[in-house]
Structure 1
Amino acid sequence: MKDNLQKESKKLLLIDDDPNLILLVKDYLEFRGYNVISAENGKQALNILQQEIPDMIICDVMMPEVDGYSLVQQIRENSQTSSIPIMLLSAKGQSQDRVKGLNIGADVYMVKPFEPEELVAQVESTLKQINRLKGQVNQEGKAPPTIQIPHQVDLTPTEQRVIYLLAQGMANQEIAQSLNVSKRTIESHVSNMLNKTSLHNRTELARWAMENNLA
């Protein structure tokens, strides 16, 4: 009962141009106690985000007008929405497709078709990780501590700075501005660190950084 009461305050934005998928996923999420807002495409989603800030966004990749990749980029470049966790849904399951989705700023990449229960579990896991990170983030303005790198993972000095800022909740664009480099450079560093650590997304990378005193 307590768990459901906590979920009722969690608002999710579900974006997909397939009405059947929206109905199916929305039913599962609402049954688990979430408040779900839906949008048929990226343009409609951007209009909703001007009025409401959800706790998490679940978005299809292949959509008309504004596709999922473009939508994620716009969300990450907006300071009002840049920290919202995002799950991408796609029928493309190749490694390069996953890497692209994660590099542009998605926290989770799920391949269609999927079991609704698995999606719900991913949503719950991501929100729990985000809440944990929020409780551990250093106070704003605090100087970065000396970073101790575990011996099994060899990060470059630049990667150390990137992962510190990533763990503070900064988007790739914000990190790029902070380090005075291009966003593509930051995306490359994030991709390299995911490969080195064998982690799956930015959220796991940030959590790993916290647990290993990298942030």
Structure 2
Amino acid sequence: MDLIKPVILLVDDNEEILDFISGDLSEKYTVITALNGQDAIQVLKEASVQLVITDVMMPVMNGFELCQAIKSNFEYSHIPVIMLTAKNTLQSKIEGIELGADAYIEKPFSPEYLQVQIASLLLNRSKIKEYFASSPMVHIKTMAYSKADEHFLEKLNHVIYKNIEDPELNVDQLATVMNMSRATLYRKIKEISNLSPNELINVARLKIAAKLLADEEYKVYEVSERVGFNSYRQFGRNFFKQFGLSPSEYITAKREERKNKKII
């Protein structure tokens, strides 16, 4: 079965450049094109995009304005942006970086170099998502790619933490408290973490459990109840599946870690 290709939004007012870059990228990626920033924003509202490549000099809405619009809107702020420009001045580069651009490539550029930049940005995002999900003590904010993301994730984490003992906590309750539509919340969480909202709630429960287990103030079954699991066995299975250790093995590992720190 073919893997789903990442979706790239390519924005440039020069149709020849759009055709050239699209042709070069189409083997590995699904490419959507737009002729200016305003058209690109409309695409982002309708499609799930993993990366944006934009020219700087465009009519209606230029690349700087598009980058600012993406990075300041929490629905899109997680999307990496590569800026392509004939401007090679230092001030132009500084402006792009200040607006949150993830990479800045001067024209004329090597297609191979663009391919490497795209692959690197997407791989790094994927690694960050995996690291968050598999590491018991890694905070949700590690997945923030912008101030808007950070604010969103902090609020989301606070809501989950406040309701962590509720076994019925789900995406509908989160959406209500976050004052967002269910669809918008689902899409944002999925894009930023690669998890569904319910999967993210489960990971958050397990991370809080890991902290409680490491502190050793509660027995394992008490920790299970405090983070909203109805069954101690279910908690143990979930914990092992997520982190590769049973709760008791994790406690032992943390004890050894503390012991070794004291020796050092």
TM range (shorter): 0.5 to 0.7
Q: Deviations over 1:29-79 (max 9, x none)?
A: 013x21000001111111111111211111111110111111111111211
1:51 maps to what in 2? 46
Q: Deviations over 1:86-145 (max 9, x none)?
A: 111111122322222111011111111101121111111111111111222379xx796x
Residues 81 and 38 (structure 1), Cα distance of their counterparts in 2 relative to 1, 3 Å cut: same
Q: How does 1:144-163 map to 2 (within 5 A)?
A: none
1:191 maps to what in 2? none
Larger radius of gyration: 2
- Pick the aligned partner of 2:60 from 47, 54, 65: 65
Q: Which amino acid aligns with 1:169?
A: A
Other structure's SS at 1:88 match: strand
Q: How does 1:160-171 map to 2 (within 5 A)?
A: 167-171=142-146
1:172 maps to what in 2? 147
- Pick the aligned partner of 1:25 from 21, 36, 43: 21
Unpaired runs of at least 5, structure 2: 154-264
Other structure's SS at 2:26 match: helix
TM-score, length of structure 1 as denominator length: 0.63
C-alpha distance in 2 between matches for 1:37 and 1:14:
6
Q: Which amino acid aligns with 2:21?
A: V
Q: Which amino acid aligns with 1:34?
A: Y
C-alpha distance in 2 between matches for 1:135 and 1:124:
16
Residues 170 and 9 (structure 1), Cα distance of their counterparts in 2 relative to 1, 3 Å cut: same
Task: Report % sequence identity.
Answer: 30
C-alpha distance in 2 between matches for 1:64 and 1:101:
17
1:131 maps to what in 2? 126
In the TM superposition, structure 1's runs of 4+ consecutive aligned residues that sit over 4 Å from their partners are 173-178
Answer 1 or 2: which has greater helix percent. 2
TM-score, length of structure 2 as denominator length: 0.52
Shift of 1:177: 9.8
- Pick the aligned partner of 2:115 from 97, 108, 120: 120
RMSD: 2.6
Q: Which amino acid aligns with 2:62?
A: D
Count of residue correspondences: 152
Other structure's SS at 1:57 match: strand
CA contact 1:29–1:120 (8 Å) conserved in 2: yes
1:149 maps to what in 2? none
Residues 28 and 177 (structure 1), Cα distance of their counterparts in 2 relative to 1, 3 Å cut: closer
C-alpha distance in 2 between matches for 1:55 and 1:89:
17
Q: Does 1:76 align with 2:51?
A: no
